[in-house]
Structure 1
Amino acid sequence: MSDFLMPSLGADMEKGTVVEWLKKPGDRVERGDVVAVVETQKGAFEIEVFEQGVLSEILVPLGTEAPVGAVLARIDGLAAAKAAAGPPPPLVPPATAAAPAAVPPAAQPLPPRREALPSAERLRISPAAARRAAELGVDVRALSGSGPGGAIAIADVEAAAAREPVAAPRRGFDPAAMRQAIATAMARSKREIPHYYLSLPIDLGQAMQWLTAENDRRGVERRLLPAALLLKAVALALREVPQLNGFWIDGAPKLSSAIHVGWAISLRGGGLMAPAIHDADRLTLDQAMAALRDLVTRARTARIRGSEMMDPTVTVTSLGERGADSVLGVIYPPQLAIVGFGAPRMTASIVDGEIRQRPMVQATLAADHRASDGAIGSRLLAAIDQHLQKPEAL
């Protein structure tokens, strides 16, 4: 048996509220299944499980706030999942198959039961009532308990479910709360991280010429945007300069072998988030384009998964065609760097001894001076430039 915990969805998260349970006790779960929706200051996020088993017990009912690391539910392991799936089909016709001898399962020590959450204690709800509330989708914050000392009982939960239809779970975000979360994270970043900044103008002529020719051969739905090239160029550059891919933890850099690029997305109504595109260096340009489209759509409809907020190893912010000339980003702790791209501009440049108009983009880097120096940062920007000069190889 294992614990399903409230995840940390960013350095600025201390607690979250369970606003939806998508599985009920007794349901089988597979690795990657979305089990719950948790709301934080930055919005509502779908929380996945990372193992196979059966959801045996829900400990935190709807509407309950819990700190990061709190036990939300318990999951029985693979043996329980196989039992829930039923017996496998016989390997030979039933008339000739020998009945297998029953083998009792090995005894398995259970982990010690953790104390109830402080928020659940304040609510004074029995464990059975909490499970029933999760099953029926009842928000326990709105209930008055009829049990001893005002404790919420099963009867209170069932009466509430009978009185009113279950309210739809909240999706989206509170702009004021998100602004506060951003303020907290960015203030921490500027207070704790000694930033250094570098910039490099990059000629996009080769990239845009190749992109135009490539898109002319494609249908509208399969066309690539410049953002896909920028994403892939950064990811490949981080392979070559891995010193900027990772985190500052416990007073030292912890580099990551995986390259998970957090792509900054501006949300309608204000605010932003930077969920991860996992293993971005391994994607084809088509896969990178599909991942970007999917991520932006889900971010703006509050369908981002918790796993996408937990492990970006670097952040990229691109202002697009109508943005400013450059952006000097603020590092999202505990990451080591943020790469920025301004809006592409037609600029007079000297090419082969002649002055020509070229599409240029200002690439910038903000990096943690505790983990690297300007020479390392310069290598990263130069590597990004080199990859954008050979777009067909991306």
Structure 2
Amino acid sequence: MIEFKLPSLGADMDEAQINEWLVKPGDTVARGQVVAEVETTKSAVEVECWEEGTVRELLVPVGATVPVGTVLATLANPDEPSAEVRPREPEVAAAAPVARPEPEPSATVSIERPPQVTTVHSVRQPPPSSAAPDPTHRQWISPAARRRARDLDVDLRTIEGTGPAGSIVIDDVVRAASRPVEQPANVHVDRNAAMRNTIAAAMIRSKRDIPHYYLSDTISLGPMSAWLEARNASRPLSERVLPAVLLLKATAVAARKYPEMNGFWTDGEFEARSGIHLGVAIAIRGGGLIAPAIHDVADKPVDRVMSDLADLVKRARAGTLRSSELSDPTLTVTSLGDQGVETVFGVIYPPQVALVGFGSILERPWIENGQVRAMPTVVASLAADHRVSDGRRGALFLAEIRELLQNPDQL
């Protein structure tokens, strides 16, 4: 039997609510298949399963909020007899808060601590026996209605369902989208407050536990700008590559040469990662940041990184990220250039060990071959973990990024 658990989607997440199951008992699951959608304080996330098998039992009902590490479902091994599969699904969770173990003083312990089995079973309730909606239960929402609400940017909390047992169906969502809906003021306030608290907890942990050091370098982007201009000249607008893509690509290629910048600090030691999955800081609707990964950036052509970045930003702001994109980043890049900031010094996102920042691309006086000329430049910064690297290696890493940006053909 295989246990499918709620994965950790980053240091700023210790629990999530089950929004929707996309499989049922008896279904065959392939590696990488999206099997559920969960809601964190930042976003709705599609959770993938990385095991093969047949779903035996869904243990956590829709609407339940459970800690990271909770067993959400069990799967039968591919060679396990089909008779072992028990076609039983959990009922919808009660609206009352779910009992959870009290967090430990250390944020690290509370995230990684295995959940109690009683957490899941305490939320099970029998389904209502009549067609009338039961006020003690979370409202039923059809999966199709939930997807349509996301597409139309409709808040499901403002809709009264007209389907069976008061459930929300597609027609309810379409009607709600066609009329102005007044959003209660406290809804956004409460969600934003929860998000800020979540981010603050992760950043407090980072500054408390990680001995940061900081470096910066002003880089001339004249060669990169000329290369991009020539490359984009004959392309339609939709196929042009943005300067930010070359900044990402250069960071990833440099990290391949300096592997101590790419990996995790866990259990008192550094674990280097072979895959370079860059977390990209993205501002999300309603405030706050999220940093999902573009996978294997160093190995992808520039055009592919551009399309992946555009897709990632779109889905991050629409709330349709996948769990692997939140759990896999090995090194984060943040840029506040579009906000007019010249230099940004970031806080490392644990358990990562480095963060690269880029400010605005600005024209500055630049001396080249004994002459002063206006040159596009960018300030690149590095925040790194002194337990893993020192200032000399950090300086060489930034110098490698500079070398690559000044010789873009190497990218």
Q: What TM-score do the two structures reach when normalised by structure 1?
A: 0.80
Q: Distance in 1 between matches of 2:75 and 2:213?
A: 45
Q: Distance in 2 between matches of 1:77 and 1:32?
A: 16
1:10-25 aligned within 5 A: 10-25=10-25
Matched, 1:372 2:368: no
Partner residue of 1:346?
A: 363
Q: Distance in 2 between matches of 1:247 and 1:286?
A: 28
* One-letter identity of the residue aligned with 2:209: E
User: Alignment partner for residue 327 of structure 1, among 341, 344, 357?
Assistant: 344
Partner residue of 2:290?
A: 273
Q: Secondary structure at the match of 1:325?
A: coil
* One-letter identity of the residue aligned with 1:18: I
User: Alignment partner for residue 142 of structure 1, among 132, 138, 144?
Assistant: 138
Q: Distance in 1 between matches of 2:74 and 2:121?
A: 19
- Structure 1 residues 82 and 275, CA, compared in 2 at 3 Å: closer, same or farther? farther
Shift of 1:161: 7.8
**Structure 2 gap segments, 5+ residues each:** 84-113, 129-133, 140-161, 174-187
Partner residue of 1:51?
A: 51
Q: Contact 1:246/1:255 (CA < 8 Å) preserved in 2?
A: yes
Shift of 1:191: 1.2
Shift of 1:33: 1.4
Partner residue of 1:107?
A: none
Partner residue of 1:98?
A: none
Q: What TM-score do the two structures reach when normalised by structure 2?
A: 0.77
Of the two, which has the highest radius of gyration?
Answer: 1
Count how many residue pairs are aligned between Structure 1 and Structure 2: 338
Partner residue of 2:150?
A: none
Q: Calculate the aligned-residue CA RMSD, in Å.
A: 2.8
Matched, 1:32 2:28: no
Q: Distance in 2 between matches of 1:324 and 1:115?
A: 42
User: Alignment partner for residue 248 of structure 1, among 233, 245, 265?
Assistant: 265
Matched, 1:181 2:177: no
Q: Distance in 2 between matches of 1:213 and 1:25?
A: 55
Shift of 1:46: 0.5
Partner residue of 1:133?
A: none
Q: Contact 1:61/1:139 (CA < 8 Å) preserved in 2?
A: no
* One-letter identity of the residue aligned with 2:41: Q
Give per-residue Cα distances to partners, 1:21-62, cap 9 Å, x unaligned.
111222222222111011122221110111222222101001
Q: Contact 1:341/1:364 (CA < 8 Å) preserved in 2?
A: yes
Q: Secondary structure at the match of 1:328?
A: coil
- Structure 1 residues 199 and 16, CA, compared in 2 at 3 Å: closer, same or farther? same
Shift of 1:139: 11
**Structure 1 gap segments, 5+ residues each:** 84-113, 131-137, 144-159
Give per-residue Cα distances to partners, 1:221-240, cap 9 Å, x unaligned.
11100111011000000011
Q: Distance in 2 between matches of 1:279 and 1:221?
A: 23
Give per-residue Cα distances to partners, 1:174-205, cap 9 Å, x unaligned.
32221111111011111111110000001011
Partner residue of 2:410?
A: 393
Q: Secondary structure at the match of 1:238?
A: helix
- Structure 1 residues 260 and 359, CA, compared in 2 at 3 Å: closer, same or farther? same
Q: Distance in 2 between matches of 1:290 and 1:38?
A: 26
Partner residue of 2:209?
A: 192
- Structure 1 residues 368 and 351, CA, compared in 2 at 3 Å: closer, same or farther? same
Shift of 1:330: 0.4
- Structure 1 residues 355 and 115, CA, compared in 2 at 3 Å: closer, same or farther? closer
Partner residue of 1:78?
A: 78
Q: Secondary structure at the match of 1:300?
A: helix
Shift of 1:141: 4.3
Q: Distance in 2 between matches of 1:254 and 1:211?
A: 36
Shift of 1:123: 2.8
Q: Distance in 2 between matches of 1:72 and 1:310?
A: 17
Partner residue of 1:164?
A: 166
Give per-residue Cα distances to partners, 1:327-356, cap 9 Å, x unaligned.
000001111000000001100010000001
Q: Contact 2:61/2:124 (CA < 8 Å) preserved in 1?
A: no
Q: Secondary structure at the match of 1:287?
A: helix
Q: Distance in 2 between matches of 1:315 and 1:81?
A: 44
Give per-residue Cα distances to partners, 1:233-274, cap 9 Å, x unaligned.
000000111111111112221111111110000112210100
Q: Secondary structure at the match of 1:270?
A: coil
- Structure 1 residues 377 and 116, CA, compared in 2 at 3 Å: closer, same or farther? closer
- Structure 1 residues 321 and 209, CA, compared in 2 at 3 Å: closer, same or farther? farther
